């Protein structure tokens, strides 16, 4: 049987690895928390105000659920798009948890889903999370 002899540098290497990995994990968690704490400027719709809100002009409507990191990430990206949109477009969100009937009414297959309306007609549909750079291209194509 062979003896394993641990040297001081072994312990230092393990300690350094743990410190670095914990810093990486905590920075990711802080980044996620900061993203979630950002104030949103998307207007919350209900099933009654939906039709009137999208009736004229260009509107982006995010269909989301509570407590979803994916929905929060897409909402964050849409908030960034708002600053690039020069106030020519309205941005809304509709909580599917609160209004489950809207899921089937608008053929939402999953969240986050973003529907783009022009004068009350759906002109585009975005499924999942889309980077801000792609959202800007979609926005420019829509106007």
Asked if 58 and 88 count as a contact pair (C-beta separation under 8 A), the reply is: yes
Asked if 143 and 84 count as a contact pair (C-beta separation under 8 A), the reply is: no
Q: How far apart are CA 38 and CA 140, in angstroms?
A: 25
Among 23-27, 87-91, 129-133, the range scoring the smallest mean pLDDT is 23-27
3-state secondary structure of 116: strand
Q: Would you say residue 104 lies in a domain?
A: yes
User: Averaged over 10-17, what is the pLDDT?
Assistant: 83
Q: Would you say residue 2 lies in a domain?
A: no
* Pair of tokens at residue 10: 């072994």
Looking at the fold, whether 121 and 53 belong to one and the same domain comes out as yes
Looking at the fold, whether 21 and 91 belong to one and the same domain comes out as no
Looking at the fold, whether 16 and 80 belong to one and the same domain comes out as no
Looking at the fold, whether 138 and 69 belong to one and the same domain comes out as yes
Looking at the fold, whether 15 and 48 belong to one and the same domain comes out as no
What range does the domain containing 22 cover? Answer: 8-37
Asked if 112 and 70 count as a contact pair (C-beta separation under 8 A), the reply is: yes
Confidence of residue 33 (pLDDT cuts 50, 70, 90): low
More confident residue, 124 or 39: 124
Q: Would you say residue 61 lies in a domain?
A: yes
Q: How far apart are CA 113 and CA 103, in angstroms?
A: 10
Looking at the fold, whether 32 and 93 belong to one and the same domain comes out as no
**Confidence at residue 77, expressed as pLDDT on a 0 to 100 scale:** 92
Q: Would you say residue 53 lies in a domain?
A: yes
Q: How far apart are CA 52 and CA 112, in angstroms?
A: 22
Q: Would you say residue 77 lies in a domain?
A: yes
Looking at the fold, whether 19 and 60 belong to one and the same domain comes out as no
Looking at the fold, whether 98 and 132 belong to one and the same domain comes out as yes
pLDDT digits 0-9 by tens, 106-125: 889 889 999 999 999 999 99
Looking at the fold, whether 76 and 32 belong to one and the same domain comes out as no
Q: How far apart are CA 91 and CA 55, in angstroms?
A: 13
- Exposed, middle or buried by CB within 10 Å (0-12, 13-18, 19+), for 25? exposed
Looking at the fold, whether 134 and 88 belong to one and the same domain comes out as yes
Q: Would you say residue 1 lies in a domain?
A: no
Looking at the fold, whether 80 and 138 belong to one and the same domain comes out as yes
């Amino acid at each position: 049987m062979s003896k394993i002899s641990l040297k001081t540098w072994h312990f230092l290497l393990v300690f350094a690895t743990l410190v670095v990995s914990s810093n990486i994990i905590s920075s990711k968690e802080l980044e996620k928390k900061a993203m979630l704490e950002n104030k949103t400027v998307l207007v919350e719709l209900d099933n009654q105000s939906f039709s009137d809100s999208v009736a004229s002009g260009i509107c982006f409507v995010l269909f989301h659920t509570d407590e979803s990191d994916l929905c929060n990430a897409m909402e964050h990206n849409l908030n960034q798009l708002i600053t690039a949109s020069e106030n020519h477009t309205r941005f809304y969100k509709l909580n599917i948890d609160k209004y489950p009937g809207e899921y089937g009414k608008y053929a939402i297959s999953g969240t986050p889903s973003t529907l783009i309306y022009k004068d009350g007609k759906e002109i585009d549909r975005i499924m999942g999370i889309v980077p801000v750079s792609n959202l800007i291209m979609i926005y420019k194509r829509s106007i």
